C-alpha cells in the first residue's frame, strides 16, 4: 500500500503541558481539530528528526474510550501510551497520552519541557493521506510504503511477553501451590481496566485461580462507569468483598484481595478485613524480597520512595544496610537510578510499586510479589494443620520489628486553581519562621511534637545531576512525624490539593492503634495551619486514602 504525505498547517493550542504523567484532558478537548496531532508532532520535534526516522515505536494504552481513534489518527508507531491512568473514561471523561523513552520509562522533564515549548510554536505537521485504517483488534503485520520507503505496522499481544517476564522473576510453582490450598482464598479486581486481560492469563490460566476470584476483569472503554483507581473509596466492590465495607456481607472474605487501576500500573493490597497502606507494602516487599522472590536472590541494589511516601521503607533500608533514595513524586525519577544499577525496588504512596524489571510501576508484579511472600511464609503451613500466616500477620510482625508509620492522605479534588495556589503560597510563607509555626501548633494541640524544620522539597538526581524544585511543602516534626502538601500533577480540571500525614511509632506495644485515631492531632494541625477550609471552601476532603 503506497501513500502520500502532505503538510498540514496548524497553530499552537494552549495548555498542552504534560503533567506528572503525560497530557491528560477531557475527551472533548482531545477531539478538537489538530489537538492530538499538535502534541504528537511536538513530541517528535522534541525527540529530534534523526531519532524518529526509521525508529520502531510502540503504541499501547489502557483501552479507554478514544484509544482506537488516537492510534489511527496520530499515525504513530511509537512509545506512546494512551491512558489517563486512574481517571474515569468515556465520552465525557478523560483521555491522555504520554511518551516513554528507550529505557521504557516516562520521558524526563528535559523532554516534556521541550514538548511543551514545541506545542507553543508548532506551525505544521506531516500526515499520511488515504492510509487505510489498521484493525488493532487483529494480531498481524500490515506493510506500507511511504515517500521515505517501506514500513510495517505490527499488532501484537503484549500479554505474551509479559507472562514470560513474570515467569522469569517469580516462582510460579510456589504461588500455584498457595492458590490451590484450601486454606487460602484470593480475589482480584481489575476495575474494568486493562489488567483484566492479564489477570485472566496469569491468575487463572497460569496459576490455577478460580474464575470466580476475578472481579470486573472484562476491560471496558468507560471502566463500567466507575473511577478506576484502586483505593478504599473507589474499589467499592473489592472493599466490600474483603470485609472492609460499611455493612457485613455475611460471607467470609477471602484471605487476599488486590485491585488495579485503568492502565494496571497501580495496585491496592488487602488482607481479610485488613488494608495494607502502599507505603507499608513497598517496605514489606523490600524486607522480604531476597528470600521470597527468585529475581532478587542475589540481593537488592538499593531501594527508593517518593517524598510524600511514608518513611517505612527508610527503616527497612537502614536495618538491611541498603542504598536508599527519596525522589520527587513521579515514576520517571526512579528510572535513572535503575538504569544506573542503584535501585531494585521502589514505591509510592499513590498505590504504585515496582522493581527494575521495567521502568514503570507494575500493578500485577506487586500482586505476584505479595503472593510470593505469602507462599514463602506459608511453606510449612500449607500441608499440615498449622494456621495460615495471613496478610495481617505479616504486616503486624513488620510493625513490631521496624515500628509503624501511621499514614493517611487527604485529597481535595477540583478546587479553584487560584485558591489552591494561594494556600500553597501561604504555607511557604509560614515556613520563614519556625518559632511562629510552633506557637500556632501548640495553640491548636499541645500533645504534638515541635516542628523542627520546614521547606519545599528539592531533588538533585544523583545520576545526571538535574535539579527539580518546588516538589512539595514539608513540615518535619521532632518525633519524625511529617506533614506534606502538594498540588497534584495528574488532574484534568481545576487543582487537586494533596495533604499527606504521617506519624512514626517505634514502641511495638503502640503499633496496633486505629490509624485515624492516632493521626487525629496531626490532621487538626494540618487543616488549621493551612487554613484549608478558608482557602478551598471545603469542610471535608473528596477522598481519604
Which residue in this structure is represented by grid cell 485472566? 200
Q: CA angle at residue 229 from 532 to 249, to 5 degrees? A: 100
| Closest distance of CB 359 from ligand G6P, Å | 11
* CA gap 293, 179 in Å, rounded: 16
263 binds, among ligand G6P, Zn ion, none (CB under 5 to 8 A by kind): Zn ion
- For position 494 contacting ligand G6P by CB under 6 A, the verdict is no
Using DSSP, state whether 213 is helix, strand or coil: helix
Among 490, 492, 511, 536, binds ligand G6P (CB under 6 A): 490
**Choices 50-58, 202-210, 459-467, 486-494 (CB under 6 A): range interacting with ligand G6P:** 486-494
**Choices 42-50, 266-274, 332-340, 385-393 (CB under 5 A): range interacting with Zn ion:** 266-274
The separation between CA 305 and the C-alpha centre of its own chain, rounded to angstroms, equals 12
- Exposed (0-12), middle (13-18) or buried (19+): which is 237, by Cβ within 10 Å? middle
- For position 98 contacting ligand G6P by CB under 6 A, the verdict is no
- For position 21 contacting ligand G6P by CB under 6 A, the verdict is yes
| Closest distance of CB 156 from ligand G6P, Å | 24
Alpha helices in 48-91 (DSSP H): 49-52, 67-74
Number of residues that bind ligand G6P (CB under 6 A): 14
**Choices 126-134, 148-156, 326-334, 531-539 (CB under 6 A): range interacting with ligand G6P:** 326-334
| Closest distance of CB 425 from Zn ion, Å | 30
| Shorter beta-carbon distance to ligand G6P: residue 108 or 330 | 330
- Exposed (0-12), middle (13-18) or buried (19+): which is 76, by Cβ within 10 Å? buried
**Choices 98-106, 128-136, 262-270, 455-463 (CB under 5 A): range interacting with Zn ion:** 262-270
Residues 153-182 that bind Zn ion (CB under 5 A): none
Q: Classify the phi-psi angles of 428: left when phi > 0, otherwise alpha if psi is within -120 to 50, otherwise beta.
A: alpha
Q: Is 85 a catalytic residue?
A: yes
- For position 363 contacting ligand G6P by CB under 6 A, the verdict is no
Which is catalytic among the residues 21, 85, 310, 355?
Answer: 85
Among 30, 170, 331, 406, binds ligand G6P (CB under 6 A): 331
| Closest distance of CB 240 from ligand G6P, Å | 25
* CA gap 334, 304 in Å, rounded: 7
Instruction: Give the 3-state DSSP-derived string for 265-320, with helices as H, strands as E and coil as C.
Output: CEEEEEECCEEECHHHHHHHHHHHHHHHCHHHCCCCCCEEEECCCCCHHHHHHHHC
| Shorter beta-carbon distance to Zn ion: residue 488 or 520 | 488
On whether the CB atoms of residues 512 and 406 are closer than 8 A, the answer is no
- For position 535 contacting ligand G6P by CB under 6 A, the verdict is no
Cβ within 8 Å of residue 300, ≥6 positions away = 286, 289, 290, 320, 322, 344, 345
| Closest distance of CB 61 from Zn ion, Å | 11
| Shorter beta-carbon distance to ligand G6P: residue 131 or 358 | 358
- For position 281 contacting ligand G6P by CB under 6 A, the verdict is no
**Choices 223-231, 398-406, 464-472, 488-496 (CB under 6 A): range interacting with ligand G6P:** 488-496
Among 20, 85, 344, 390, binds Zn ion (CB under 5 A): 85
| Pick from 391, 166, 169: nearest CA to 280 | 391
| Closest distance of CB 506 from Zn ion, Å | 34
| Shorter beta-carbon distance to Zn ion: residue 18 or 302 | 18
Among 189, 348, 362, 505, binds ligand G6P (CB under 6 A): 348
| Closest distance of CB 445 from ligand G6P, Å | 27
| Closest distance of CB 22 from ligand G6P, Å | 9
* CA gap 421, 107 in Å, rounded: 26
104 to 248, 320, 364: CA distances (angstroms):
43, 29, 17
- For position 267 contacting ligand G6P by CB under 6 A, the verdict is no
Residues 36-95 that bind ligand G6P (CB under 6 A): 85
Using DSSP, state whether 371 is helix, strand or coil: helix
The separation between CA 258 and the C-alpha centre of its own chain, rounded to angstroms, equals 14
382 to 181, 285, 292: CA distances (angstroms):
7, 21, 16
Q: In the Cβ-directed half-sphere of 263, how many Cα atoms lie within 13 Å?
A: 23
| Pick from 24, 27, 35: nearest CA to 91 | 27
| Closest distance of CB 397 from ligand G6P, Å | 28
- For position 263 contacting Zn ion by CB under 5 A, the verdict is yes
Q: In the Cβ-directed half-sphere of 218, how many Cα atoms lie within 13 Å?
A: 4
257 binds, among ligand G6P, Zn ion, none (CB under 5 to 8 A by kind): none
Which residue in this structure is represented by grid cell 518559632? 435
| Shorter beta-carbon distance to ligand G6P: residue 85 or 288 | 85
Neighbours of 523 (CB within 10 A): 18
Provide the binding-site residues for ligand G6P, judged by CB under 6 A. Answer: 20-21, 85, 306, 329-331, 348, 350, 352, 488-490, 498
Residues at the contact surface with Zn ion, assessed by CB under 5 A: 85, 261, 263, 265-266
| Residues with catalytic roles | 85
Amino acid at each position: 500500500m503506497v501513500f502520500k504525505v502532505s503538510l498540514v498547517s496548524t497553530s499552537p493550542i494552549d495548555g498542552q503541558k504534560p503533567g506528572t504523567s503525560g497530557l491528560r484532558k477531557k475527551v472533548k478537548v482531545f477531539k478538537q481539530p489538530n489537538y492530538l496531532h499538535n502534541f504528537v508532532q511536538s513530541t517528535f520535534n522534541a525527540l529530534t528528526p534523526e531519532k524518529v526516522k526509521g525508529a520502531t515505536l510502540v503504541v499501547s494504552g489502557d483501552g479507554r474510550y478514544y484509544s482506537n481513534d488516537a492510534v489511527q489518527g496520530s499515525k504513530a508507531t511509537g512509545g506512546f501510551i494512551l491512558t489517563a491512568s486512574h481517571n474515569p473514561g468515556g465520552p465525557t471523561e478523560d483521555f491522555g497520552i504520554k511518551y516513554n523513552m528507550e529505557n521504557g520509562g516516562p520521558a524526563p522533564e528535559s523532554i516534556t519541557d521541550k514538548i511543551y515549548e514545541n506545542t507553543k510554536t508548532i506551525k505544521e505537521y506531516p500526515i499520511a493521506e488515504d492510509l487505510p485504517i489498521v484493525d488493532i483488534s487483529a494480531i498481524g503485520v500490515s506493510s506500507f510504503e511511504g515517500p521515505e520507503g517501506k514500513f510495517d505496522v505490527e499488532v501484537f499481544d503484549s500479554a505474551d511477553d509479559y507472562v514470560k517476564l513474570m515467569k522469569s522473576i517469580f516462582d510460579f510453582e510456589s504461588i500455584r501451590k498457595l492458590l490451590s490450598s484450601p486454606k487460602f482464598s484470593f480475589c482480584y479486581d481489575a476495575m474494568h481496566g486493562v489488567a483484566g486481560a492479564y489477570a485472566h492469563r496469569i491468575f487463572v490460566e497460569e496459576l490455577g485461580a478460580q474464575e470466580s476470584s476475578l472481579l470486573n476483569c472484562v476491560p471496558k472503554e468507560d471502566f463500567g462507569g466507575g473511577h478506576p483507581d484502586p483505593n478504599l473509596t473507589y474499589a467499592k466492590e473489592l472493599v466490600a468483598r474483603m470485609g472492609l465495607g460499611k455493612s457485613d456481607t455475611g460471607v467470609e472474605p477471602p484471605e487476599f484481595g488486590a485491585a488495579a487501576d485503568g492502565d494496571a500500573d497501580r495496585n491496592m493490597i488487602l488482607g481479610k478485613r485488613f488494608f495494607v497502606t502502599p507505603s507499608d507494602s513497598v517496605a514489606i516487599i523490600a524486607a522480604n524480597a531476597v528470600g521470597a522472590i527468585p529475581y532478587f536472590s542475589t540481593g537488592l541494589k538499593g531501594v527508593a520512595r517518593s517524598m510524600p511516601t511514608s518513611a517505612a521503607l527508610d527503616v527497612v533500608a537502614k536495618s538491611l544496610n541498603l542504598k536508599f533514595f527519596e525522589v520527587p513524586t513521579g515514576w520517571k525519577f526512579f528510572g535513572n537510578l535503575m538504569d544506573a544499577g542503584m535501585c531494585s525496588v521502589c514505591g509510592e504512596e499513590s498505590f504504585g510499586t515496582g522493581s527494575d524489571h521495567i521502568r514503570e510501576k507494575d500493578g500485577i508484579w506487586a500482586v505476584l510479589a505479595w503472593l510470593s511472600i505469602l507462599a514463602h511464609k506459608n511453606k510449612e503451613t500449607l500441608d499440615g494443620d498449622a494456621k495460615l500466616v495471613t496478610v495481617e500477620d505479616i504486616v503486624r510482625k513488620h510493625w513490631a520489628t521496624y515500628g509503624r508509620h501511621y499514614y493517611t492522605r487527604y485529597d481535595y479534588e477540583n478546587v479553584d486553581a487560584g485558591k489552591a495556589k494561594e494556600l500553597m503560597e501561604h504555607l511557604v510563607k509560614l515556613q520563614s519562621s519556625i518559632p511562629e509555626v510552633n506557637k500556632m501548633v501548640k495553640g491548636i494541640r499541645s500533645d504534638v511534637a515541635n516542628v523542627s524544620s520546614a521547606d519545599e522539597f528539592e531533588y538533585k538526581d544523583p545520576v545526571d545531576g538535574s535539579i527539580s524544585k518546588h516538589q512539595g511543602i514539608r513540615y518535619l516534626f521532632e518525633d519524625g512525624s511529617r506533614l506534606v502538601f502538594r498540588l497534584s500533577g495528574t488532574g484534568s480540571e481545576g487543582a487537586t490539593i494533596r495533604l499527606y500525614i504521617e506519624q512514626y511509632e517505634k514502641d511495638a506495644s503502640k503499633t496496633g492503634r486505629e490509624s485515624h485515631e492516632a493521626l487525629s492531632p496531626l490532621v487538626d494541625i494540618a487543616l488549621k495551619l493551612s487554613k484549608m477550609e478558608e482557602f478551598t471552601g471545603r469542610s471535608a476532603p473528596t477522598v481519604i486514602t
